[in-house]
Amino acid sequence: MEQNEESRRWLTPSRLLTVLLAAIILSLIPLLYLNVLFSVLDDLDNKAWGGADFTAYYTAASLIRDGTSPYDAAAFASEAQGLGFRNDRPYIYFPLLAITVMPLTALPPQQAASVWFALNVALLVLSTLLMVRTLGLQKHKVAVVSLLLAALTFYPAVFSTFVGQANALLLALLVLTWHLAKRGIDGLAGACIAAASMVKVFPFCIALYFLWKSRYRIILSALAALVVLAAFSIALAGLEPHITYVSSILPTQLVKPHPLNQSLSSFIYRMIQPEQPRDVLLWRLASLSASALVVLGTALLIPRGRRNGALLDLEFALVVVSMLLVSTVSWIGTLTLMIIPFGVAAKELIVGERWRSARLAAITTVVSLLCINSQRVVESYIMAGSAAGSLPPCLLSMPMYGMIVLWITIAYFLLKRGESPLSAIGSS
């Protein structure tokens, strides 16, 4: 009788759910990623999409190792062809990312791709676990395994890993920035911002948030780290590739009205479809206005200069979503960074006592997740050979709708805290 009572006490619904979710992670998730890895290796042989971005990193790293600029189109195409890669994926990033990949050039391409794939999965798991710790959710076992499961099945993260992008590295650096800043370790937080900005330019927007919050040590350490990393990159790759990147490569990335680009600018382009100069001007004005509204709304929701640690989670999450919306380029893989705001929203719904009755916020969070994950269907349709133009423009922007919904949800959480400038306006 006592044994039955004890087993009932142990087999609580919460523990059963935790065990079930852990079993899914330990059994089905490895199978999912093994299947993705085999697809990547098969696509590398067939010069298809799997590992396509990694092949650009690997080719650029090989060229830098041999003393050649990764932006020399003829040399790049020749090197890619010699390595057995497709040669239509140019390298468009700062040289430091290719330098980071250089150790993998000691391995044959297939083995190097497998190592890069494993590193991406490891970074995704470690980033999620560090996020859980940053949010103080480590004691909530169901929350831990649920967030881990959600992150590992999040379509942008799976797609990014499949194509071989560096978004898991970017996620790790931003989560580390957040974690360190929350604990007042400003020097290292700034260094992480600098490193992330060397992978892609737009993460430097995080530095602007800390400038708004008067966290000047973070800004100074970020600038100092940028100088050190740039000097290191120039020492290994030479000055000429860096000049080429700034003068020729970076400007071409400022406008990317691609059907799969999820930024506000690209969405407006798809809706207007400008052909005449007047339409182009309308698109630019509409894009600037929409981006300005997002930035203004973000600034009004975040109190300037106050160092309230309890608000940092929500503020950081809001800045990440805003950054992805106003960036000129937000590919579906880049939306891997949305794991941060989803984690923050989940924490508010799990442990925020004031939000226990906020069912609408829970519904909007789920709707946002479904909108972003629905891109799997759209991209499968396009990759199957169907033209993106055969789909209505509104259907190509489901992830962007999801970002907007989550932005509004996090804004709601911040307004309920009653410390944002907008809260003060509403109460006066």
For residue 380, CA distances in Å to 42, 117, 343, 374, 388 come to 17, 21, 27, 10, 11
- Identity of residue 288: L
Per the structure block, which two tokens stand in for 187?
Answer: 């020097």
**376 CB neighbour count, 10 Å cutoff:** 15
What per-residue confidence (pLDDT) applies to 1? 46
CB 283 within 8 A of CB 269: yes
Smallest CA-to-CA distance from 260 within 156, 188, 349, 186 is with 156
Q: At what angle do helices 109-135 and 339-351 cross, to 10 degrees?
A: 30
Distance CA 257, CA 270 (A): 7
Smallest CA-to-CA distance from 63 within 245, 185, 329, 241 is with 241
Distance CA 130, CA 127 (A): 5
Judge whether 280 lies within some domain: yes
What per-residue confidence (pLDDT) applies to 420? 67
Judge whether 399 lies within some domain: yes
Judge whether 290 lies within some domain: yes
What per-residue confidence (pLDDT) applies to 2? 47
**278 CB neighbour count, 10 Å cutoff:** 9
SS3 letters across 81-144: HHHCCCCCCCCCCCHHHHHHHHHHHHCCHHHHHHHHHHHHHHHHHHHHHHHHHHHCCCCCHHHH
- Residue 163 CB contacts under 8 Å (≥ 6 apart), including other chains: 49, 50, 51, 52, 53, 54, 333
- Identity of residue 107: L
Judge whether 13 lies within some domain: no
CB 344 within 8 A of CB 410: yes
For residue 15, CA distances in Å to 8, 19, 22, 313 come to 11, 6, 10, 28
Judge whether 274 lies within some domain: yes
Sequence length of the chain is: 428
Distance CA 185, CA 182 (A): 8
Indicate the number of domains in the chain: 1
> pLDDT (tens digit, 9 = 90+) per residue, 360-369?
888 999 999 9
CB 347 within 8 A of CB 319: no
Q: What is residue 339's DSSP assignment?
A: H
**Cα–chain center distance at 184:** 24
Judge whether 16 lies within some domain: no
Structural domain span for residue 375:
254-428
Quickly list DSSP for 154-198.
-HHHHHHHHHT-SHHHHHHHHHHHHHHHHTT-HHHHHHHHHHHHH
Judge whether 382 lies within some domain: yes
Counting as low any pLDDT under 70, the low residues of the chain are 1-14, 17, 254-257, 306-308, 352-358, 380-390, 418-420, 422-428
> pLDDT (tens digit, 9 = 90+) per residue, 319-349?
999 999 999 889 999 999 999 999 999 998 8
What per-residue confidence (pLDDT) applies to 9? 54
What per-residue confidence (pLDDT) applies to 44? 82
Judge whether 158 lies within some domain: no
